[in-house]
């Protein structure tokens, strides 16, 4: 297997200006792995409760996602997130979070996954990210994080940052983490904490890369209609890591191309709720939109 993600598989309740959906398939590992599956073999480490339905598992199976690291824990319920998007839909307002099965969960990486070359630690408690790091020997290890951990577990998060090769985080998180207001300064300060590759997500404004070899920026793929932004960041990361794992490279040139693939992949994800639009597309659609995106950004 080329790529491993450790993260959540969840039930989501999502409200956007385009409607309300309850109990739909969500979670960081779900969006990440589905996005990455267009590019490479991918496996999940995580946990769901006994209420997790077979047809949701079959969604993952349909893409060949290896879920032998996804534990189903009897007597517990699946992680459940409720949120809504208003206005420009750039940020979700979290209405409710029920940890359920994740309360007290420690990730356990199956023996067969431990040598996976590309590993992504989706947003999660730094202690759990560290517990995962202890179990893997990847070539390229990338993490995500969020404001909650920056505010409540900064020292442990810094330990994580000292042990990863890269981080994919959003603009506000990079600024909060570093106290810098300027994008470049914030990215440089993040890199100084450990990760040599820093990718900053800027929502509808695209993304920014800082690494030893240089800097790079691309706009977002322009969409007339965003139905549900949930999973945009994770499917972007899935496209980035999926492409890198597919070609087995982490060069500057390939990181740039990977970000363009991540951008395009995420653009499909937000065109419907949950994975509904992902289920309709193929790698060909991604490659076609990638071609449009090249034209859209070249001068």
Of 63 and 215, CB closest to a copy of itself: 215
Among left, alpha and beta (phi > 0; psi -120 to 50; other), residue 160 is alpha
In angstroms, the CA 22 to CA 9 distance is 15
Q: Is 172 in the site for a copy of itself (CB under 8 A)?
A: no
148 forms part of the interface with a copy of itself (CB under 8 A): no
- Is residue 202 near a copy of itself by the rule CB under 8 A? yes
What residues between 277 and 296 interact with a copy of itself by CB under 8 A? 294-296
Stretch that binds a copy of itself, among 63-71, 123-131, 202-210, 280-288 (CB under 8 A): 202-210
Using rule CB under 8 A, residue 181 touches a copy of itself: yes
**201 belongs to the binding site for a copy of itself (CB under 8 A):** no
Contacts (CB under 8 A) with a copy of itself, residues 49-78: none
Q: Pick the closer one to a copy of itself by CB: 103 or 295.
A: 295
Query: Which of 53, 112, 162, 222 touches a copy of itself by CB under 8 A?
Result: 222
The residues binding a copy of itself (CB under 8 A) are 87-88, 181-185, 202, 204-206, 208, 214-219, 222-226, 253, 256-257, 259-260, 294-299
């Amino acid at each position: 297997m080329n790529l491993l993600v450790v993260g959540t598989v969840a039930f989501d309740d999502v409200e956007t200006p385009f409607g309300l959906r309850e109990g739909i398939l969500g979670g960081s590992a779900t969006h990440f792995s589905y996005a990455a599956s267009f590019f490479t073999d991918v496996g999940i480490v995580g946990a769901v409760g006994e209420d997790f339905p077979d047809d949701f598992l079959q969604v993952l199976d349909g893409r060949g996602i290896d879920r032998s690291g996804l534990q189903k824990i009897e007597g517990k319920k699946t992680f459940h997130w409720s949120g809504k998007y208003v206005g420009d839909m750039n940020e979700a307002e979290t209405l409710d979070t029920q940890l359920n099965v994740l309360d007290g969960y420690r990730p356990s990486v199956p023996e067969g996954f431990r040598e996976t070359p590309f590993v992504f630690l989706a947003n999660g408690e730094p202690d759990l990210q560290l517990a995962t790091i202890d179990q893997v020997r990847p070539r390229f290890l990338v993490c995500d994080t969020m404001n909650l951990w920056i505010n409540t577990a900064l020292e442990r998060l810094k330990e994580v940052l000292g042990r990863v090769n890269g981080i994919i985080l959003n603009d506000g998180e990079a600024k909060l983490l570093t106290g810098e207001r300027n994008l470049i300064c914030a990215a440089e300060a993040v890199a100084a904490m450990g990760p040599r590759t820093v990718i900053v997500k800027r929502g509808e404004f695209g993304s920014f890369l800082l690494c030893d070899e240089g800097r790079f920026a691309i706009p977002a793929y322009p969409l007339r209609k965003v139905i549900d932004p949930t999973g945009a960041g994770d499917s972007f990361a899935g496209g980035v890591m999926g492409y890198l794992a597919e070609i087995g490279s982490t060069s500057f040139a390939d990181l740039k191309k990977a970000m363009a693939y991540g951008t395009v992949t995420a653009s499909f994800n937000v065109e419907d709720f949950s994975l509904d639009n992902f289920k309709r597309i193929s790698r060909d659609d991604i490659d076609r939109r990638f071609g449009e995106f090249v034209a859209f950004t070249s001068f």
